[in-house]
Amino acid sequence: MDFQALSLLIAEAYSKNSDNNEILNVFYSILARCQLSANLVTSCLKLFNKKTKNTNHFPSLYFDACFNSNYKTKQTIEPITTGIDITFDRKRSSNKVVIALNGIGGGFGGFPLEFLDNYFKKRNITFIVLDDVTTRFYLSGVKSLGERFQDTVDYLANEFKSHEFYFIGKSAGSLAAMHFAKVLNAKSVICFGAAVNCSLEFFERESDYRARPVVRRLNRLVPSELLDIKPFLGKSTSFNTFLWYGDENREDLVHAKYIEDAPNVHLRPIPGFKFHDALGGAVRANLLESALAEFLK
């Protein structure tokens, strides 16, 4: 395959529709996952950036994770190890472990996990991604670890007993990210486009029509007390929660505002962003690196 020609083709598409984060995500996913040589990755980046220099994309994390200012590669990008529902490379020397929970449909909104993994690898932080293969928003835990939420809690507590926990939640994964943070005494949670109350009653009251069949199924299968995080965020809550969302996305704004008065909850609106992909929005607005620094502080 001619990856340079493909880079130009994707760049042309992005130049014509620079509001579409998925085009950008596709390009970086190709660079991350096709195991290209360092020279070819560098060439593709240069071609893409030259073609799209007039568009509003400043994804510093992508570049800073793997390249210096002259596009010389710091290391070859390699795919991280993938399990059935746990993606985990190895324990690293820091006592911090970051655990990411994705949204409906798996993946992380098209964001290449290899870049996030490299970001944490540079800081010697262990990085784990959990997949919700049962589509129960992780509220029954991770399938390969058992049938109950507590089974996953026990695994994490035993496997990382000397670590500090940090959780990343995207969309539907945000609710469980906060539940895990609570029971594991985590230091911090960062969520992108969080769904913090997944009760059918809340969705109906707020006219949130997203993924209604999935939400109805969830309400049948999961204990009702787990569907709303707000009652769990009492005065004893010690971890910080950073909620990133587009300030023009009505549904995500409603969920963020629902818990804004809870202890240690910090709202981080992305100005002028109207899509649910708040992770992509943070990248586009050149905010992701500072967001992660605040999260890990």
Higher pLDDT: 14 or 80? It is 14
Main-chain dihedrals φ then ψ at residue 260, nearest 5 degrees? -65, -25
Report field, pTM of the whole predicted structure over 0.85: no
- Domain spans of the chain? 3-66, 86-273
Look at residue 8 in the predicted model and tell me its pLDDT. Answer: 94
Higher pLDDT: 70 or 188? It is 188
Higher pLDDT: 76 or 157? It is 157
Main-chain dihedrals φ then ψ at residue 91, nearest 5 degrees? -70, 140
Look at residue 126 in the predicted model and tell me its pLDDT. Answer: 94
Split at pLDDT 50, 70, 90, the class of 185 is very high
Look at residue 26 in the predicted model and tell me its pLDDT. Answer: 80
Statement: residue 38 has pLDDT above 90: no
Place of tokens 């970001």: 119
Is there a contact between 149 and 139 (Cβ–Cβ < 8 Å)? Answer: yes
Statement: residue 141 has pLDDT above 60: yes
Distance of CA 213 to the CA centre of its chain: 23
86-273 topology per CATH? Rossmann fold (3.40.50)
Higher pLDDT: 68 or 36? It is 36
| CA proximity to 62, closest of 11, 118, 128, 144 | 118
The pLDDT of 146-151, averaged and rounded, is: 93
| CA proximity to 101, closest of 137, 135, 125 | 137
**Cα torsion for 114, 115, 116, 121, to the nearest 10°?**
80
Look at residue 293 in the predicted model and tell me its pLDDT. Answer: 95
Look at residue 244 in the predicted model and tell me its pLDDT. Answer: 98
Look at residue 34 in the predicted model and tell me its pLDDT. Answer: 75
Give per-residue pLDDT as tens, 43-83.
Answer: 887 888 888 876 655 455 555 655 555 555 554 444 555 55
Is there a contact between 71 and 46 (Cβ–Cβ < 8 Å)? Answer: yes
